[in-house]
């Protein structure tokens, strides 16, 4: 158990130094180098601050200034073995504007398993006392559970400031296999210990992960009476033993959440063993099966020691069922022959419903169709004519700041009101909008749309304004959606704020697609994912998701607004590019207060997007349909044509300054638009700018003046 009196101490200068030295002694060996990093200091002129240390006195001296005076949301440190050559980047000192920090490739060996226990709360703020206490209770429960599994004591455990943190010694190579193992362990713990109040962060599995440095402040948001800034404090154990690989692998086995069945068929089969809340009723199951048991309360959950083993006839003792605070159920038998047996094996042996397949005991009927039976099925109709089909999986993707959320919200409002979208007919229906980021701005955006359209806001638009885990929270989401009548579209905005895991891992991406498919199957609605590209302007994450899409639409920012391009459309022709320009809608007296409106209301405004040419001067502003990359590419071609005539594609690409894939995508768009013409000479293609291309490069006066300052989500 954590010593609450110790970790709740007020941080003094001497106590902070004690914490720094103690943690340094735990995470380093003689000759080791560690990085201290301070991202996003309050004074942004410093940029990211970073330094590398192999001297404990220099380490303490450098960090001491950030203990006396809180200058950043957090001070962080590496815990796994860093390549000592990195010391030369900033030897035993902290430097501003760090160009390079520790990457996963810079880690020589994994020495620690870091378990981050977070209280559930809005992002960007500190925790309340109650939220922090819940996280520390969960931290105690995890340590107690792992201790019963034979794990040694952690090397460090305590508070990260707002939540709990645990560090177990491990000894693993820095390899993809080790990363997968750590990820599986964190997901396993999350399956067992996540509740409505606490979550286990499953994204901290990378080798170069930095952690809050004990003895320094956690300063999220602004300090208030109920959400103060606190310090990270750890109890350390320098003599802690290494967790052996066998115990790591045993814990990383498949998680066994049994909170609620995934289908009505499953729920009916084991309904007698479920409470009204959907929590699995272990005692009802054991009573119905005639299995004797005892009961005890453990810090990590409820435990039922069994009078016989459920997975072997060779022994009667040593088996138990555990139900964690999350509702997840696990089975454990202490005998060596049953070490690999899980709750799934118990359910299969008892013939109760499971997740499906051989281990779950669930079967379903499958039947192949003839082509005529398939023809008789109703064809998917359009939700938005030529843009979005009913019951489809679609994505709106683009760089940061390309107005994706504005477009997605306009589609949602059009469907919820039954109003055409830019001349495209819609099939009216209810819309559920998961505003996982930027929810605060939705009211103004909706008001601006309604004012521009001259209509009332629809009652059929339903908004969830918080981040979720689309996979882990799938059943609660399905339950919430079940209460919405006539649901036609579910918008997930964005993928990043609803994806708990590694977007680049095929396994995690498959789980995300499966969760979206379950929403489609349960509701009959289309699912629209809003997603950000990476910093290079290319799709971010595993290709599993785009491969599963029915429709993929790209958003590219132009000088006056945004261009929407159809990147993928199953079973239909891709629609032609849509060019939109932004229009500011003032909302100062939207509520009717007029001159008496509060100041913050009087200055309210937002954006709507209209087709290029529908506003004064728009018809002449063809230049606005070019993206920045296209303009740069077209200008380079024009200059080359003026000196050398037609230019080979390979030569043009060398001047592009973008990746090869991006160049060919942009070139194709320019040719399609009629701004570039291409001819073949032998095996090479040559390119020339057209008269229309020259015209598009000659901007006329912008009747709307400077760019709006509205956030482009």
- Per-residue pLDDT of 54-85, as tens digits, reads 999 999 999 988 876 778 888 999 999 999 99
CA distances 604 to 212, 405, 413, Å, are 39, 18, 20
Cis peptide before 494 (omega within 30 of 0): yes
Which tokens hold the place of 579? 């060019």
Residue 588 near residue 602 (C-beta atoms within 8 A): yes
pLDDT in tens, 565-576: 888 998 888 888
SS3 216: coil
pLDDT over 90 (residue 512): yes
Question: What CATH class is the domain 627-696?
Answer: mainly alpha
Pick the residue with more confidence: 628 or 616?
628
SS3 657: coil
Pick the residue with more confidence: 706 or 196?
196
Residue 174 near residue 241 (C-beta atoms within 8 A): no
Angstrom distance (rounded) from CA 557 to CA 241: 54
Strand ranges (DSSP E) for 382-504? 382-384, 388-389, 393-398, 430-435, 461-464, 487-493
pLDDT over 60 (residue 623): no
Strand ranges (DSSP E) for 454-560? 461-464, 487-493, 526-532, 551-557
- Rg (the chain; Cα; Å): 29
Which tokens hold the place of 577? 């590019």
pLDDT over 90 (residue 412): yes
Angstrom distance (rounded) from CA 188 to CA 205: 13
- Whether the CA torsion 259, 264, 265, 268 is positive or negative: it is positive
pLDDT in tens, 245-272: 989 988 887 544 444 433 333 333 333 4
pLDDT over 90 (residue 6): no
Residue 181 near residue 172 (C-beta atoms within 8 A): yes
12 phi, psi to nearest 5 deg = -100, 170
Per-residue confidence (pLDDT) for residue 35, from 0 to 100: 96
Residue 510 near residue 544 (C-beta atoms within 8 A): yes
Per-residue confidence (pLDDT) for residue 366, from 0 to 100: 65
Angstrom distance (rounded) from CA 286 to CA 268: 18
Residue 359 near residue 348 (C-beta atoms within 8 A): yes
pLDDT over 80 (residue 218): yes
Angstrom distance (rounded) from CA 672 to CA 188: 50
Give the bridge partners for 457, in sequence order: none
Q: Tell me what the mean pLDDT of segment 391-401 comes to.
A: 93
Which tokens hold the place of 137? 């209770």
Angstrom distance (rounded) from CA 625 to CA 558: 6
Per-residue confidence (pLDDT) for residue 502, from 0 to 100: 84
Q: Of 608, 436, 597, give the one whose Cα is nearest residue 529.
A: 436
Q: Are strands 382-384 and 319-324 parallel, antiparallel or unpaired?
A: unpaired
| Whole-structure pTM value | 0.49
**Residue corresponding to tokens 């009629």:** 674
644 phi, psi to nearest 5 deg = -125, 5
Pick the residue with more confidence: 591 or 372?
372
* 14 exposure class (CB count in 10 Å sphere: 0-12, 13-18, 19+): exposed
SS3 489: strand
Q: Which letter does DSSP use for residue 608 in this model?
A: E
Task: Give the pLDDT band of residue 358 (cuts 50, 70, 90).
Answer: very low
Per-residue confidence (pLDDT) for residue 392, from 0 to 100: 94
Q: What value does the mean pLDDT of the chain take? A: 83
Strand ranges (DSSP E) for 155-291? 156-159, 164-173, 198-200, 210-212, 217-218, 230-231, 233-236
Per-residue confidence (pLDDT) for residue 550, from 0 to 100: 94
Task: Give the pLDDT band of residue 365 (cuts 50, 70, 90).
Answer: low
Q: Are strands 551-557 and 430-435 parallel, antiparallel or unpaired?
A: unpaired
Angstrom distance (rounded) from CA 696 to CA 690: 10
pLDDT over 80 (residue 606): yes
Angstrom distance (rounded) from CA 560 to CA 626: 9
Of 236-240, 358-362, 654-658, the range with the highest mean pLDDT is 236-240
- Whether the CA torsion 284, 289, 293, 296 is positive or negative: it is negative
CATH code for the structural domain at 382-617: 3.40.50.300
Domain boundaries, the chain: 9-251, 264-360, 382-617, 627-696
Pick the residue with more confidence: 157 or 667?
157
What DSSP line would sit under 114-141, residue for residue? EEEEEE---TTSPPPHHHHHHHHHHHHH
Per cent of the chain over pLDDT 90 is 42
pLDDT in tens, 692-708: 888 778 754 332 233 33
Per-residue confidence (pLDDT) for residue 203, from 0 to 100: 84
CA distances 179 to 204, 248, 501, 711, Å, are 10, 12, 12, 37
Per-residue confidence (pLDDT) for residue 194, from 0 to 100: 86
* 707 exposure class (CB count in 10 Å sphere: 0-12, 13-18, 19+): exposed
Angle between helix 660-672 and 628-644 (nearest 10)? 80
Fold classification of 9-251 (topology level): DNA primase, PRIM domain (3.90.920)
Per-residue confidence (pLDDT) for residue 414, from 0 to 100: 95
Per-residue confidence (pLDDT) for residue 498, from 0 to 100: 92
pLDDT over 80 (residue 48): yes
Q: Tell me what the mean pLDDT of segment 522-551 comes to.
A: 90
Q: Tell me what the mean pLDDT of segment 208-215 comes to.
A: 93
Per-residue confidence (pLDDT) for residue 579, from 0 to 100: 86
SS3 652: helix
**Residue corresponding to tokens 């291409």:** 678
487 phi, psi to nearest 5 deg = -70, 125
Q: Report the run of H or E that residue 563 belongs to, with start and end.
A: strand 561-569
* 438 exposure class (CB count in 10 Å sphere: 0-12, 13-18, 19+): middle
Angstrom distance (rounded) from CA 282 to CA 327: 10
Residue 102 near residue 166 (C-beta atoms within 8 A): no
Pick the residue with more confidence: 560 or 139?
139
Going by C-beta distance under 8 Å and a sequence separation of 6 or more, which residues neighbour residue 625? 558, 563, 577, 579, 612, 673, 696
Per-residue confidence (pLDDT) for residue 68, from 0 to 100: 64
Angstrom distance (rounded) from CA 464 to CA 477: 10
Angstrom distance (rounded) from CA 397 to CA 467: 19
* 557 exposure class (CB count in 10 Å sphere: 0-12, 13-18, 19+): middle
**Residue corresponding to tokens 């939540």:** 163
- Whether the CA torsion 702, 553, 469, 417 is positive or negative: it is positive
């Amino acid at each position: 158990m954590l010593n609450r009196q110790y970790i709740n101490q007020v941080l003094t200068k001497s106590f902070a130094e004690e914490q720094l030295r103690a943690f340094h002694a735990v995470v380093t060996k003689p000759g080791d180098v560690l990085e201290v990093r301070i991202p996003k200091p309050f004074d942004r002129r410093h940029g990211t601050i970073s330094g590398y240390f192999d001297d404990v006195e220099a380490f303490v001296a450098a960090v001491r200034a950030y203990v006396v005076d809180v200058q950043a949301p957090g001070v962080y440190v590496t815990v796994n073995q860093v390549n000592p050559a990195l010391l030369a980047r900033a030897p035993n000192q902290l430097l501003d504007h760090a160009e390079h920090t520790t990457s996963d490739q810079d880690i020589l060996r994994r020495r620690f398993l870091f378990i981050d226990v977070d209280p559930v709360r809005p992002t960007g703020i500190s925790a309340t006392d109650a939220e922090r206490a819940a996280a520390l209770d969960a931290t105690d429960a995890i340590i107690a559970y792992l201790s019963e599994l034979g794990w040694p004591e952690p090397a460090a455990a305590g508070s990260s400031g707002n939540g709990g943190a645990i560090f177990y010694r491990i000894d693993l190579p820095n390899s993809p296999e080790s990363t997968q193992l750590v990820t599986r362990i964190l997901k396993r713990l999350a399956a067992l210990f996540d509740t409505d109040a606490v979550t286990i962060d499953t994204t901290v599995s990378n080798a170069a992960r930095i952690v809050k440095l004990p003895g320094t402040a956690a300063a999220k948001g602004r300090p208030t009476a109920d959400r103060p800034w606190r310090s990270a404090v750890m109890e350390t154990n320098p003599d802690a033993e290494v967790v052996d690989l066998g115990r790591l692998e045993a814990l990383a086995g498949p998680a066994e959440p049994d909170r609620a069945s995934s289908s009505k068929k499953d729920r009916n089969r084991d309904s007698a063993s479920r409470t009204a809340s959907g929590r699995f009723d272990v005692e009802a199951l054991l009573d119905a099966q005639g299995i004797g048991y005892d009961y005890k309360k453990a810090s990590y959950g409820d435990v039922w020691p069994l009078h016989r083993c459920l997975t072997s006839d060779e022994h009667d003792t040593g088996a138990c069922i555990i139900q964690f605070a999350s509702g997840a159920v696990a089975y454990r038998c202490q005998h060596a022959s049953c070490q690999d047996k899980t709750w799934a094996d118990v359910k299969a042996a008892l013939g109760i419903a499971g997740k499906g397949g051989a281990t779950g005991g669930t079967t379903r009927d499958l039947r192949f169709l003839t082509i005529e039976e398939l023809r008789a099925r109703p064809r998917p109709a359009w939700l938005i004519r030529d843009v979005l089909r009913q019951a489809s999986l679609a994505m709106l993707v683009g760089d940061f700041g390309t107005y994706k959320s504005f477009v997605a919200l306009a589609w949602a409002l059009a469907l919820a009101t039954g109003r055409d979208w830019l001349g495209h007919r819609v099939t009216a229906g209810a819309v559920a909008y998961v505003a996982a980021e930027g929810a605060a701005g939705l009211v103004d955006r909706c008001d601006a749309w309604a004012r521009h359209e001259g209509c009332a806001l629809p009652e059929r638009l339903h908004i969830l304004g918080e981040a979720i885990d689309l996979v882990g929270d799938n059943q609660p989401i399905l339950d919430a959606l079940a209460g919405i009548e006539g649901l036609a579209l579910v918008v997930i905005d964005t993928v990043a704020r609803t994806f708990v895991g590694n977007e680049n891992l095929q396994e995690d991406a498959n789980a995300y697609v499966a969760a979206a498919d379950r929403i489609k199957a349960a509701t009959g609605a289309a699912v629209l994912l809003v997603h950000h590209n990476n910093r290079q302007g290319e799709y971010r994450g595993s290709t599993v998701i785009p491969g599963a899409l029915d429709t993929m639409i790209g958003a590219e920012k132009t000088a006056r607004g945004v261009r929407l391009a159809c990147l993928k459309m199953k079973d239909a022709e891709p629609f032609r590019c849509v060019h939109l320009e932004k229009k500011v809608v003032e909302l100062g007296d939207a509520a009717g207060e007029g001159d008496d409106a509060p100041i913050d209301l009087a200055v309210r405004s937002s954006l709507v997007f209209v087709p290029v040419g529908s506003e004064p001067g728009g018809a002449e502003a063809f230049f606005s349909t070019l993206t920045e990359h296209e303009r740069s590419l077209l200008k380079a071609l024009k200059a080359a044509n003026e000196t050398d005539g037609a230019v080979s594609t390979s030569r043009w690409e060398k001047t592009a300054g973008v990746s090869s894939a991006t160049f060919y995508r942009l070139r194709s768009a320019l040719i399609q638009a009629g701004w570039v013409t291409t001819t073949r000479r032998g095996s090479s293609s040559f390119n020339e700018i057209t008269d229309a291309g020259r015209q598009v490069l000659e901007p006329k006066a912008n009747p709307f003046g400077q760019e709006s300052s509205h956030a482009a989500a």
